[in-house]
A and B are shown apart, each in its own frame.
Chain A
Amino acid sequence: MEGNGTASSFPLPSQITDVPGAEGWRSMYPYFTRFQPEDDNRFWFYNAMHFPEPMPAFDVVTAEIPYTAIGANTARVFCFPTTLGIEHRIVNGRIYITAIPVTDPAEIERRLAVFQERAGHYYENWDRLYEGWKTRMKGLIREIEGITVPQLPELDDAAVVMESTGVAQNHYVRENYHRCLDLYSKMWHHHTEFLMLGYGAYVVFFEFCKKAFPEISDQMVARMVAGIDVIMYRPDDELRRLARLAVECGVDDEFTEGCSPAAVLDALAGRGEPGQRWLAGLDAARDPWFHVSTGDGFYHHHRSWNDNLTVPFAALPRYVRMVREGEELTRPTEQLRQERQRIVAEYRGLLASDEERAAFDQMLGLAGLVFPYVEDHKFYCEHWFTTQFFAKIREFGELLARKGVLAEAEDVFQLHHSEVDQALADVMLAWAAGGTPLGGAHFQPIIAERKRMLEVLRDWSPPPAIGPVPEALNDPAVRMLWGVTGETLATWAAAGDGTQIHGYAASPGVVEGTARVLRSVNDIGEIRDGEILVCPVTAPSWAPVFGKIKAAVSDIGGTMSHAAIVAREYGMPAVVGTGHATTRIKTGQRVRVDGDRGIVSILG
């Protein structure tokens, strides 16, 4: 990770110019997301981990609401001593963030006292509180699933009169739309409820390990606390189970490379008892395990496996083939558990004294306590809840399309959530008055223009960081989740000669192969056997494609990135946190991925 000299520095926010042809991008986002002149004095980095694509207008809700919750958690609720919250800004459709540090020693002291009392309560009662969390989260999921979108027929339901509820259904258009947003917001408050404390405990263990063993890799630290029965592995485990079931039932011949899910389901329905048995197995797996997002839940087009069976069905033929060939498809959990224990015991034994070992035990214990939450919350929050949330918004889109405001339901995501509010009011009024909504003439040209701009913005390569280098990086999420440290900044700043890209060594090994650059998870079907995946960020639900690829490279990824864990489990090299591999590498180029040193070389 050589930073080379003084030549490299990050541009200032004010130096970033509008992408030609998309000068109107500001119209998509609220005023409070714009860079201000004084923002030039602060350090910002591109959150490519969560937002690798330009933001459709509605989707900025996945920044606005999470940052409302995260900042409240760290700054106001738990009162983290050295960090307030995260601010975000949008430029050319991309989201940049910065954490506001607390650096005044007296202020830190004051906040620390509050933090000790509040965080102490959570750490001391972690498991019990986490059980309560799961109940609440499942409650929120049930609530969002239960929301109905009024259909606004010619006449309202007779019950309004007979049961004298007195409230016409156009009222519920707004109320239920707001409930979607409110539940989404609550989900995010619960999401951060444990997460920042979890990162806090992990970062302390992580830094102890780095001090005691300066050469230890980030992934080795993660391996000491990583769970074995992680929920995020379940969807993939279910696919393996379904592959075994297909062979067992003798219907495995239906699963061929490139098969269409609809055709397979039709065919199985006609294959009598064995076909029914497999379909019943599929149904059992779908709820909840197919509520996994094909992305990581930050874009409306990150649909769930249930919404789009193509993704899970793309993995099935390979698994079926492996079962037929007698390969053991179950994860060797006991073996993994023993290996983790062995690694912990070895490092523990290498510590210099019993005193250090006692401190290590304490920190490892706490990191182990928090890690199940860190690993598992995503399934409930970003996957299960969020795919349901977007599905509901899509239903509101269907209403708007039916009423002529939108050309198609999917266009609802081209409107900011406050604009959707307006459009719904328009529809509510028109239904009440017996008139016609005016939104079609107003919104449809705007939406067409926005779609065009997003296509233009897609080709822009955002700088990984902008603004002056900060004096401190205190936020535990910034360090652990995004992996932004002094070292990362040096990596990003290193200009290089263009043929080498540096990142974190996430999974060992060296391979060469043909690159496949995927900017969006929707292109996942393009991956061919033996290619090297180059992507902005990999989500856990990409696991099935890891069976096909030779190596993985990502723009963003910290020490907690699941991509690293999955890559290691598949025994393939991975380099993460490269900053800009997706813009430097082109599909079809030969590349060498050196997972030992964290270097990707473009060979031509």
Chain B
Amino acid sequence: MSGLELVRGITSVGAGDRPTVGGKGAALGELSRAGIAVPPGYVVTAQAFECSLRALDPAGTLRGEVERLPAGDRAGIARVTARVRQRIVAAPLPEDVRAVITAHYRGLGGDPEAGKHGVPVAVRSSATGEDSAEASFAGLQDTYLWVRGAESVLDHVRSCWASLYNAEAVSYRLRMRIPEQDLAMAVVVQRMVDPRCAGVMFTCSPATGDRSVIAIEGSWGLGSALVSGDVTPDCYVVSKVTGEIVRRTVAAKFRRHQMDPSGCGVVADDLPEALRERPCLSDDEVRALAAVGRRVERHYGAVQDIEWAITDDARPANGIVLLQSRPETVWSGRSAGPVATPKARAVDHVFEGLGRVARIDTGTEARRWT
């Protein structure tokens, strides 16, 4: 096994590399191929995971042990998975894996010896496997921010691997009878972005599924404040057709997630009063984000659910970087019939439309007035 396959640069991978770099890694590679700015970084591949697993489990019994657990045995699952996770985080890494991850960290500008003062990175799980298997990780895959120094990166890579054996994730796989054999965990390591503000963007309306608009939500600091529900974000709706901001709602934002004062990890704190009512995005930034959203959507040919951040760094010029993009699932999955189908004559639409009683929804509206 060559070192090249243990780690791959984000810019060198694409959608076809999912089995090797996982969903998140592949999506980031695909974005950067499409010319969208993503933080520079690399992916510790599924092969690196396999290689390390073989080292700590030469007999190859670990996966079978997990798979044989009874799906309903919550206590058993908790006990076994805790032991598996413990083994993964404690086992020494094979030398070639260790060397290549360290070398790439150095490639990001990080002095491996600098420890707490090294270049900060984000270490994020990126599971491989079937879609259904990946679905089991929604919200469970671990992400570690503001990680500094090679040793800490190595520790967090192992933590990400261990998260594959999260009790909830394993329970789900057992229930769904998803085989353990092909499951692996890749890990994305990216230069840490210190965002002024961050958030999510849907290339359709999350409320109505309307594909003619882009919905953007954002708040000060890291996007985790918004994703975790710690803060009510500012909301913007932008027309894809005219580029106009058709709605903006500036929320009172009380919390912010940002770098811990120690330089490592994240701290959630109260937002200074002056920033609370201030919109976190300028109109130009809203429009620039929407333009990026449209490009991503066009690239994939499908409605996207995007995580973004804006930095005050000079690169890229507008400060926008994407941290993730995946197909939107709620509305895309809904199989509503067509709004209308063609008729023999155009006027038949009028006959149908005017032949209908335009009732007022008395269930909701009448109550307001009577």
Which A residues are closer than 8 A to B by beta carbons?
3-6, 8-10, 80-82, 101, 103, 108, 112, 115-116, 119-120, 123-124, 200-201, 203-204, 207-208, 211-217, 220, 343, 346-347, 350-353, 355-356, 358-363, 365-366, 468-474, 476, 479, 486, 489-490, 493, 508, 596-597
Contact = CB atoms under 8 A, between A and B. Distances in A.
Contacts of A473: 358, 360
Interface string B229-241: 0000000010111
A551 B216 CA distance: 28
Given A215-B205, A352-B338, A9 B354 contact: no
B358 A6 contact: no
Interface string B330-370: 00000000111111011101111111111111100111111
B241 A220 contact: yes
B209 interface: yes
Contact of A124 (B339, B347, B355): B347
A355 B245 contact: no
A82 B357 contact: yes
A9 B205 contact: no
Nearest to B354: A200
B369 A123 contact: no
A143 B240 CA distance: 52
Nearest to A366: B346
B359 A471 contact: yes
A584 B369 CA distance: 21
B246 interface: yes
B358 A355 contact: no
Interface of B: 205, 208-213, 237, 239-242, 244-248, 338-343, 345-347, 349-362, 365-370
Given A215-B205, A489-B365, A203 B343 contact: no
Nearest to B205: A215
30 contacts: A6-B367, A6-B368, A9-B370, A10-B369, A103-B357, A115-B355, A119-B350, A200-B350, A201-B350, A204-B349, A207-B353, A214-B210, A220-B241, A346-B241, A347-B241, A356-B338, A356-B339, A356-B341, A359-B338, A359-B341, A359-B342, A362-B342, A469-B366, A469-B369, A471-B362, A473-B360, A474-B358, A476-B354, A479-B358, A486-B361
A596 B245 contact: yes
A215 B241 contact: no
Contact of A112 (B345, B349, B351, B368): B351
B351 to A, nearest CB: 5
B89 to A, nearest CB: 47
Given A214-B210, A355-B338, A363 B240 contact: no
A497 B361 CA distance: 26
Contacts of A597: 247
The 8 lowest CB-CB distance pairs between A and B, nearest first, are A3-B368, A204-B353, A214-B208, A358-B342, A359-B340, A362-B346, A215-B210, A346-B241
A214 B213 CA distance: 10
B210 A474 contact: no
A350 B353 contact: no
A215 B212 contact: yes
A357 B323 CA distance: 35
B359 A472 contact: yes
Contacts of B237: 215
Contacts of A351: 339
Contacts of A490: 365, 368-369
A505 B246 CA distance: 10
Contacts of A3: 365, 368-369
A377 B151 CA distance: 79
A472 B350 contact: no
Contacts of A474: 357-358
Given A6-B367, A214-B209, A490-B365, A470 B360 contact: yes
B124 to A, nearest CB: 33
